[in-house]
Chains A and B, each alone.
Chain A
Amino acid sequence: MNFAEHLPALQIVVPLVSAPLAVLLRDRLAAFVLVLAATWTAFAISILLWLQVGESGLISYAIGSWPPPWGIEYRVDALSSLMLMLVAGIASVVLPYSRASIEREIRQDKHYLFYALFALCLSGLLGITITGDAFNLFVFLEISSLSSYALIALGKDRRSLVAAFQYLIMGTIGATFIVIGIGLLYIKTGTLNLADLSIRLQAMTSHRPVLAALAFLTVGISLKLALFPLHQWLPNAYAYAPSAVSAFLAATATKVSVYALLRFYFSVFGETAIFQRLPMEDLMLVLALAGMFVASTVAIFQDNLKRLFAYSSVAQISYVVLGISFDSVTGLTATIVHLVNHAVTKGGLFLLLGAVIAGMGGVTLARVHGVGRVMPVTSFGIVLCGLSLIGVPGTAGFVSKWYLILAALEKGQWWLVFLIVLSSLLAVAYVWRFVEVAYFHAPRADLAGVREAPLALALPAWILVAATIWFGVDTSVTVGSAATAAAQLLGVSR
């Protein structure tokens, strides 16, 4: 058999196989090695797919050799190959970190189950990104969601249980709405293949059931991507989950949901149906602006760093949605670039916070006083990521804000440029809260002897911090792929 032909299937199957094998092995070291090998293989496959897509533009793979639209099709284009690479890449960095991290947070006899859940969550997220079938997308969404509920509940603090339960309720409502939307589309068109759906929907985009389907899908996916004001589940879920899980979910889960939104909006319904016949543009603009300001303001008043940066995630997701609302190639480029940049930044940030928890025993502001003195390297990394959240030139965050501003100027909306800069000032405020306690306070007496984080925790975190800086300097991979993907998304529908 020829491996190159079957890469789309192997992309999902390799991590998926490692999950049951990890359960069978029942040994934490063996499970770790196995899942790590599978994750790195998945990352390698995603890079190969990205290269293939760069040459051929589109890869279609028929599962079970049933030709689409009858069978399930795996479809890789510019956007999905970029997302696959992002998800698999983040997982490849977070997994080695998790080995040292869960040592302190999860009972040892449960470790092999953690790795199995991680592999399941990864294959679910990859599956959402690669599948070209609407119902298959729902199934993968549930695979990733169910495993992430369980992963969050593994947190040491008992509040992680309540957070996981709230996420389960909200997430299931979201998934049910999505499946209702898909059901209505299926009733109208008789097909579940996304590409086939878009062809058949063209004649009926103003039919009432199709509009209802659009509404259900929008609300359902918005719940999953934590669009303001549907973000209530997110702060607690990120704050009380085990450190490695916070980092992995913060960097990938909401991003993949944004991917699903882009897929349905631009590849299925088409840009004309969404933005020219419906007032979606204004709606998304208002929600994005509200999210940017409210979530950033709430973040300033948090006294737990993980919660603070979780609220910042809500605000950053709003920038992503703002980019969609421009409905232009530049706007979408900004959206996709920010997906990647924010994933890398937030991933690195949560990994570093995990290292702080390992050293200081917690990340409440009162506890991390003077962390800049006892853990200087880790604190410096957090500040670097914070600068990227603000959008300081030289960091990844600057690149995405730059494209957002370009898109706003393209539309002639000067006031939006002003608002984007203003909301960045709010980011300065919440990052400053960390800087203040970390550098301008003496450490608590009992914590003055804390040492720098061990290499097993620091190295993965610094890989992501380095990527944050790298993507701020050299934008050829991120912006290049994002621009291609944006053009493809809008080109298909025009």
Chain B
Amino acid sequence: MNFFSHYDYWVMLFLAMSGLFIVIARGNLIKKLVGLAILQTSVYLLYLTPGKIVGATAPIVDASFTVYSNPLPQVLILTAIVVGVATLALGLALVVRIREEYDSIEEDEILRLDLDPADDKREAKP
């Protein structure tokens, strides 16, 4: 198998793995979300790649063209993009709220604050 004939899959894998690495290795909540966004974006490439036919046009009916790319992956990915946007927006909204409550967006600091034994008292508040 020729390495370069499938280079877009390699790009996809590189993006996916770097995204996953950022999510796992970084403690900053915003950076985690960036990694997550990269991971999700890599999937778009996985879907779009096989739908493209070299030398084909966009799937718009016209008498002068006969070979069209597959439009279905693009529709699917449009859905996945919407999901990605929604996830990112929700994630960022949570980070904003976390910062308001903890005054920090570093995971280790937040976890340390959570070990605070005064928590039971706060639970009692109406």
Does B94 belong to the interface (CB within 8 Å)?
Answer: yes
Does A146 belong to the interface (CB within 8 Å)?
Answer: yes
For residue B97, which residues in chain A have a CB less than 8 angstroms away from its CB? 153, 161
Within 8 A of B (CB), among A136-165: 138-139, 142, 146, 149-150, 153, 157-159, 161-162, 164-165
For residue A183, which residues in chain B have a CB less than 8 angstroms away from its CB? 43, 46-47
**B46 contacts A180, CB within 8 Å?**
yes
Of all chain B residues, the one with the shortest Cβ separation from A152 is B94
Does A263 belong to the interface (CB within 8 Å)?
Answer: no
**B91 contacts A165, CB within 8 Å?**
yes
**B90 contacts A149, CB within 8 Å?**
yes
**B91 contacts A168, CB within 8 Å?**
yes
Report the separation of the CA atoms of residues A135 and B43 in the bound assembly, to the nearest whole angstrom: 13
**A139 contacts B23, CB within 8 Å?**
no
**B90 contacts A135, CB within 8 Å?**
no
Known: A139-B79, A158-B102. A165 touches B29 (CB 8 A): yes
* Distance to closest chain A CB from B6 (angstroms): 11
For residue B114, which residues in chain A have a CB less than 8 angstroms away from its CB? 159, 162
**B32 contacts A176, CB within 8 Å?**
no
**A165 contacts B98, CB within 8 Å?**
yes
Known: A157-B123, A362-B123, A364-B120. A176 touches B94 (CB 8 A): no
Of all chain B residues, the one with the shortest Cβ separation from A167 is B94
For residue B122, which residues in chain A have a CB less than 8 angstroms away from its CB? 157
Report the separation of the CA atoms of residues A158 and B79 in the bound assembly, to the nearest whole angstrom: 32
For residue B47, which residues in chain A have a CB less than 8 angstroms away from its CB? 183, 186
Contact with A along B1-43 (1 / 0, CB 8 A): 0000000000000001000100100000100100010011001
Within 8 A of B (CB), among A154-201: 157-159, 161-162, 164-165, 168-169, 172-173, 175-176, 179-180, 183-184, 186-187
Does A367 belong to the interface (CB within 8 Å)?
Answer: yes
For residue B102, which residues in chain A have a CB less than 8 angstroms away from its CB? 158, 162
Does B57 belong to the interface (CB within 8 Å)?
Answer: no
For residue A362, which residues in chain B have a CB less than 8 angstroms away from its CB? 120, 123-124
Report the separation of the CA atoms of residues A179 and B76 in the bound assembly, to the nearest whole angstrom: 10
Of all chain B residues, the one with the shortest Cβ separation from A145 is B87
For residue A165, which residues in chain B have a CB less than 8 angstroms away from its CB? 29, 91, 94-95, 98
User: How many residue-residue contacts, CB under 8 A, span A and B?
Assistant: 86
Contact with A along B87-123 (1 / 0, CB 8 A): 1001100110110011000000011001000011011
For residue A164, which residues in chain B have a CB less than 8 angstroms away from its CB? 94
**A172 contacts B36, CB within 8 Å?**
yes
Known: A158-B102, A173-B23. A135 touches B76 (CB 8 A): yes
For residue B73, which residues in chain A have a CB less than 8 angstroms away from its CB? 186
For residue B87, which residues in chain A have a CB less than 8 angstroms away from its CB? 142, 146, 168, 172
Q: From the candidates B20, B43, B101, B111, name the one contacting A179 in the complex (CB within 8 A).
A: B43
For residue B67, which residues in chain A have a CB less than 8 angstroms away from its CB? none
* Distance to closest chain B CB from A32 (angstroms): 22
Q: From the candidates B29, B36, B123, name the one contacting A173 in the complex (CB within 8 A).
A: B36
Report the separation of the CA atoms of residues A150 and B94 in the bound assembly, to the nearest whole angstrom: 9
Report the separation of the CA atoms of residues A399 and B17 in the bound assembly, to the nearest whole angstrom: 44
**A179 contacts B80, CB within 8 Å?**
yes
For residue A366, which residues in chain B have a CB less than 8 angstroms away from its CB? 120
* Distance to closest chain B CB from A264 (angstroms): 18
For residue B83, which residues in chain A have a CB less than 8 angstroms away from its CB? 139, 142, 146, 175
Of all chain A residues, the one with the shortest Cβ separation from B29 is A165
Report the separation of the CA atoms of residues A347 and B36 in the bound assembly, to the nearest whole angstrom: 32
Given contacts A172-B40, A172-B87, A180-B16, 5 further A-B contacts (CB under 8 A): A104-B126, A146-B83, A162-B114, A179-B43, A364-B123
A interface vs B, CB < 8 Å? 104, 135, 138-139, 142, 146, 149-150, 153, 157-159, 161-162, 164-165, 168-169, 172-173, 175-176, 179-180, 183-184, 186-187, 361-362, 364, 366-367
Which 4 A-B pairs have CB atoms at the shortest separation, nearest pair first?
A: A362-B123, A158-B101, A361-B124, A142-B83
B interface vs A, CB < 8 Å? 16, 20, 23, 29, 32, 36, 39-40, 43, 46-47, 50, 73, 76, 79-80, 83, 86-87, 90-91, 94-95, 97-98, 101-102, 110-111, 114, 119-120, 122-124, 126
